[in-house]
Amino acid sequence: MNQEGMFKPALIGGVLLGMLSAIPVISLFNCVCCAWVIGGGMLAAHLYVRGAATVVTLGSGILLGLLTGAIGAVVDTLFTIPIHLALRPFGMGFAEQMRQAIDQLPNVPPETRDALRSFFAGGRGIGFLFIILTGFFKLVVYGVMGMIGGAIGVALFEKRKPGTEPPVYQPPMNIPPPPPPPPPDIPAQP
């Protein structure tokens, strides 16, 4: 398993899925089974399979997807902060979006809804605290969904059969030791 070669595809997939998941309207696509995250994992797997000299296994794909999801969660959290700061003057900051999400929750009694709404109206600190907490939540969810994407990507894009990879050069094992150096000329004793 070439773990060094995993980082570049994971970085590309993770940054892409993180950016797409942070943009307000486009991020709604994540409501379809975390589609951006699974897509990012699949993209990373495709890039890794294309550049790998040996057959990529499911385990490698899952590890790659986990890495992609983790990078995506970090990028998503880092992008979310400036985006919400920029949207705050237009009434679309984090607290406002949370209030909208609470209003759309099904089956929640009005008093609970009011309590949650007043909690999220607690000012800027609450918003940042929740962005950080959401970041940890995303780290777990994006990791699991990234693993799923990596596994699907390897299953779809890896077409080589195990055992068909090119032979790897191995140096000979039993090299005979070099001959001992000739003894130095000893001058004859007078």
Partner 1 sequence: MMRVSRHPGNADPIAKKRTLHLLPFEYNGPARGSREPLSFNHIAMCPLTRCPSNPARPLLVLLWVALCCMIVAAPLLVVHFPALAAMLYLFFAPICHQNPDRSFIIAGHALAVCHRCTGVYLGLLIGSLTPPLRLGSLSTPPQRRALVVCCTLPLLLDVALSSLGIWTNNMSSRFSTGLLFGAMLSTLLVSGIEELIDRHSWKMIRFQTAHVKGGIS
What residues line the site for partner 1 (CB under 8 A)?
1, 30-31, 33-34, 57-59, 61-63, 101-102, 104-109, 111-113, 115-116, 137, 141, 144-145, 147-148, 151-152, 154-156, 158-161
Residue number, 40 or 186, with CB nearest to partner 1: 40
CB of 111 to partner 1, least distance (A): 7
Can you read off the two tokens belonging to residue 126? 């609450």
CB of 92 to partner 1, least distance (A): 17
Distance from the Cα of residue 99 to its chain's centroid = 29
Residue number, 23 or 182, with CB nearest to partner 1: 23
Residue number, 138 or 189, with CB nearest to partner 1: 138
Q: What is the CB neighbour count within 10 angstroms for residue 82?
A: 10
CB of 140 to partner 1, least distance (A): 10
In degrees rounded to 5, what are phi and psi of residue 146? -65, -40
Residue number, 50 or 187, with CB nearest to partner 1: 50
Instruction: Give the closest residue to 11 by CA, choosing from 40, 38, 33.
Output: 40
Residue number, 81 or 102, with CB nearest to partner 1: 102
In one letter, which amino acid is 102?
Answer: I
